[in-house]
Chain A
Amino acid sequence: MSEIETLVKELADKHGRKRESLIPILQGVVEKERYLSDEAMTEIARELDIAAAQVYGTATFYSFLDTVPRGKYVIRVCKTISCSMKNGNEVIKAISDILKIQVGETTPDKKFTLLEANCLGWCHKGPAMLINDTPYTELTPQKVREIIAEYNRK
């Protein structure tokens, strides 16, 4: 059994093999692999006995269910109005400068991906971002540098 087959089977054992189990399984794969490969989606389809197109259709609807390879740490910076008014652009630019990647790109060592996101629900403490599931708020270019340095040490 390949690694992905084992993972999908484990997740299906945990969440069930019903249609309702699909999103939790997709989330589980993303959590582990950071994205959904064609192989993973085909395997999920086989495990749940549904068409691969249905798996792909559901996966591509949700912005957190990535279908292209992502880094170990996915950075999502809020670009919605309250954060943007607090100079969210400077935060994006700072991260871009530090990691030497543009929005949408992944570092060559596959450690970080930089993305923009719609409202993260931290409008009173903008600018805000998520690194995987962890929120960071009231960001400045300096603060961002420290946070990324911390992740680099991990």
Chain B
Amino acid sequence: MIKHFLKDFKERFIEGVLFLSSTTTSILVVLIVVYLFKEGVGIFNRTPVAEGSELLVSAANKVNKLTADEVRKIFEQEFTKWNQVGGSDAEIELFRLDDITNYYTDEQLGENFENMPHCIDTILMQHPNMIAFVSKQYVLPNGRACKVSIDKIAVKQVMLGNRWYPTASPVVELGIWPLLLGTIWVSIGAILLALPFGLAAAIYMAEIADSRIRKILKPLIELLAGIPSVVYGFFGLVVMVPIIQQTFNLDVGQSALAGSIILGIMALPTIITISEDAIRNTPRAMREASLALGANHWQTIVRVVLPYSVSGITAAVILGIGRAIGETMAVLMVTGNAAVVPTSFLQPVRTIPATIAAELGEAPFGGIHFQALFFLGCMLFLLTFIINVIVEMLAPKKLKR
């Protein structure tokens, strides 16, 4: 009786442990995704003014609302008159914190700059056409100067913006378009390079190689998947980049092409293994039917086996892209990381993962830059998620046959 009870209890206990571990895993995954999106979407609740800073104008100025783009143009002196932003005819005077010494001496500012807020407020009183970019701590509470209100960061600005300057001042620019395009370019390039080689290797291994050669080749190709990505990156930087630089006579060899080649090599094992499985899964009856009609081996491969396994091969390609999109280290090392919209494979590009890896360390926790990087993470997650959904949609089609 007790024995039975103990046995029952033991089984229940093990079930409990299994249930707990699976639940914890699922909850953990959900939590990570929720955290990612919470931080990432938070970016749209903020104004693009650089962290801890404020823009002030004189109370006499009737312009007290500007867009981020106008602020940038004002401080880059592209706009020099207030009427360009809807104000009076006057010239715009710029004031940055460093300029304070033009107006006050160190003694006047005090030993610990304790008079600074007051001084700035006074300067703005005296210069009605001035716009000042100062730290928040130097804004005089209840001062006479007027804070410039700036619209919150807009989705369109981020998604389609061409400029990625997350630490610029006075306003940050968070256009992820060049990064998104950089990621897609490098990944598509990688697939275009890897697909012909991968498919050729898969066909050779599944259809032509005898079992002895296959036994050597297969582990070798699987070994490719085991090489750490930093090693690929190192190889790329030391070998590929100089070759590309010399071949195309470029100033720098770090380019989208270098990234595509390295990612292509890294995607090869995925593409080869999955395509080979798909090709091998072509029913024997299909091959026999083709051969019995007088088709030779090659005709059978091209006309029957490949069309039959096309959905498996597509899945392989998409998984390969998925791997390429998320790859960080190797890409970071060989693509040159210039955040510009790519126009040629020989230009440096910057991908989303490389951006996150390179910039997260210097982004202050909870700041705009930090949140912008999380938003990049969300985009990357969505890209790979879409890819996984596509693979899922292709898989049942394969089973139905």
Is B one of A's binding partners? no
> Which of B's residues lie within 8 Å of A, judged by CB?
none
